[in-house]
Chains A and B, each alone.
Chain A
Amino acid sequence: MIAAFHVTPTFYLVLAAALFSIGAIGLLVRRNVLVMFMCIELMLNAVNLTFVAFAKALNDIGGQVLVFFTLVVAAAEVAVGLAIIVAIFRRRREATADDLRVLEG
């Protein structure tokens, strides 16, 4: 019975959609800036999963190559973002989104 059951690309797309939504909800719900960053990583990973699923479905290696560019952007974003968090933390002693209220105009 199991042998007749195949994992189609749709399965991966649905999984990636669920992962992306969990990341989006976490980004909106959590107050800690570090955890919000981790949720952004979850969303980026969902997109990578979609790229790889389409690379397999369309038989085109370009999807896998694009994952590398996503990885580079994610690494740069994490480096700059964590530097910003460290700079904020040095002044405010707290790192939640509510402490950034001073940015209001």
Chain B
Amino acid sequence: MTVVLFFLFAALTIGGALGVVLARNPVHCALFLVLTLVSVAVLFLLQDAQLVAAVQIIVYAGAIVVLFLFVIMLLGVDRPDTLEEPLRFQRPVAFSLGAIVLAEVLFLAGQRWATGAHTARGVGIKGGPFGSNIERVARVLFTTFLWPFQITAALLVIAVVGSVVLARRSGERPEPLPIDGAPAEEDAR
């Protein structure tokens, strides 16, 4: 059962990723991205990572892809890309670089010095006196990783302020809200 599920959703993951790269319409790319993200969430479930799977669906498929679609629609770039290449040899170079990356990562995945030895201490995935998956994640997140967790708060605040500053129209004052019973704007000028 696990084997069948793994191969089914691995195929869906790879298919969705290829769709993101190959589809010419950005909206189709975003929808293929949803397919990949949901398949990866199922793969998380297969590895006893229930909370991560739920968060993957909620944050990635629910928030990030919707943000992508919003920007696509806001900018009106939902027309297909052109296939002309301004840079010569870009595509073959990109494919050979990608093949090198794949070979590198596969090489590293097979090396023990790169992937680390067994830790087998601290809070495990299963067993021990700790409760459910959520409880285990919370226990480690709020003890061992407490300081990084606090820093993410600063990161999120910086990101929010930065995106507001960037997306604002600079040099223009925001238009005043119309007031009931006030004279029209032309008269005021």
Contacts and interface: CB of A to CB of B under 8 A. Distances in A.
Given A55-B125, A71-B59, A83-B162, A64 B40 contact: no
Contacts, number: 238
A58 B14 contact: no
Interface in B34-60: 36-37, 40, 43-44, 46-49, 51-52, 55-56, 59-60
What class of interface size applies to chain B in its complex with A? 35 or more
Dominant SS among interface residues on chain A: helix
Contacts of A25: 21, 94-95, 97-98
A72 to B, nearest CB: 5
Contacts of A102: none
A86 B152 contact: no
Interface of A: 2, 5-7, 10-26, 28-32, 34-35, 37-39, 41-42, 45, 48-49, 52-56, 58-62, 64-65, 67-69, 71-80, 82-87, 89-90, 95-96, 98
Interface of B: 2-4, 6, 10, 13-14, 17-18, 20-21, 26, 29-30, 33, 36-37, 40, 43-44, 46-49, 51-52, 55-56, 59-60, 63-64, 67-68, 71-72, 74-75, 77, 81-82, 86, 90-91, 93-95, 97-99, 101-102, 105-106, 109, 115-116, 118-127, 133, 136-137, 139-141, 144-145, 148, 152, 155-156, 158-160, 162-164, 166-167, 169
